[in-house]
Amino acid sequence: MNTYAEDDYLQLSGIQHFCFCRRQWALIHIEQQWADNLRTVEGEILHEHAHNDRFSEKRGDLLVVRGLAIHSAALGVSGVCDVVEFHASPEGVPLFHHRGTWLPTPVEYKRGSTKQTDADRLQLCGQGMCLEEMLACDVPKGYLFYGETRRREEVLFTEALRNQVREMLLEMHSYYSRRYTPKVKTSKSCNACSLKELCLPKLCGRRSAKTYIESNLQGEEP
């Protein structure tokens, strides 16, 4: 099995950006552009409450760990789980300072409500695949918690969903290794993008947003 060097790891959270718009992902992760809007600010606040400085608590047969760092050499990604719930189970794995064996279930916190795309599900599945590699156990499912509905959505990590994660990450690694920012066609979703003003879609066929911004700072004509 081929594996990635740690220096080549991508951010697991980038799957969500990539699924929403490949150009948005490249602007954030390759060109290092970023802009806050109401959606990103609300999302960050929700994640801050979830992470709470690597806090853990035990409730009987349930161990809750927040802000758990994860990675996968096979996928070439690293990230942080909002919450991982470890349930006491004979099919689980041993954990330091805790008796018995425990089966992990990732829980990802999101703003709003469930989406029509698989962006959130793909990110969550990626977390499960990282946990499987790190802990050498099966992680069959996870949960998405949406701030608007205040409800959990169960996500089964099917083979089809796992293959989507693998294929998407292969494409992301290909773009990143070439430092390639793809072109896009404008759509309704552009209005909800935090990088709408930086993306400058009308220039997609000419040069990157980074080049455009640098030329403006130097007083050149766009």
Q: Which residues contact 1 (CB under 8 A, 6 or more apart)?
A: 74
Q: What is the pTM of this model?
A: 0.81
Q: pLDDT (tens digit, 9 = 90+) per residue, 35-87?
A: 554 345 444 545 554 545 456 788 889 999 999 999 999 999 999 999 999 99
Counting beta carbons within 10 angstroms of the beta carbon of residue 131, is it exposed (0 to 12), middle (13 to 18) or buried (19 or more)? Answer: buried
Q: pLDDT (tens digit, 9 = 90+) per residue, 89-99?
A: 998 999 988 89
* 191 within a domain of the structure (yes/no): no
**Mean pLDDT, residues 193-222:** 57
What is the helix (H) or strand (E) element at residue 165, kind and residue range?
helix 159-178
Q: Using alpha carbons, list the distances in angstroms from residue 45 to 50, 68, 111.
A: 9, 17, 9
pLDDT of residue 214: 57
Domain count for the chain, please give it: 1
* 203 within a domain of the structure (yes/no): no
- Mean pLDDT is highest, among 136-140, 187-191, 210-214, for 136-140
* 211 within a domain of the structure (yes/no): no
Q: Which residues contact 105 (CB under 8 A, 6 or more apart)?
A: 84, 85, 86, 87, 139, 141, 142, 143
* 194 within a domain of the structure (yes/no): no
Q: pLDDT (tens digit, 9 = 90+) per residue, 144-185?
A: 999 888 899 999 999 999 999 999 999 999 999 999 999 878
Q: Are 34 and 28 in contact (CB under 8 A)?
A: yes
Give the domain extent around 41.
Answer: 6-185
pLDDT of residue 41: 43
- Mean pLDDT is highest, among 16-20, 120-124, 200-204, for 120-124
Torsion angle (degrees, nearest 10) of CA 26, 30, 36, 41: 90
* 209 within a domain of the structure (yes/no): no
* CA–CA separation, 23 and 27 (whole Å): 6
* 10 within a domain of the structure (yes/no): yes
- Indicate if the pLDDT at residue 1 is higher than 90: no
* 219 within a domain of the structure (yes/no): no
* 212 within a domain of the structure (yes/no): no
Report the amino acid identity of residue 137: C
The more confidently predicted of residues 42 and 117 is 117
Q: Are 112 and 91 in contact (CB under 8 A)?
A: no
Domain of 98, CATH number, reads 3.90.320.10
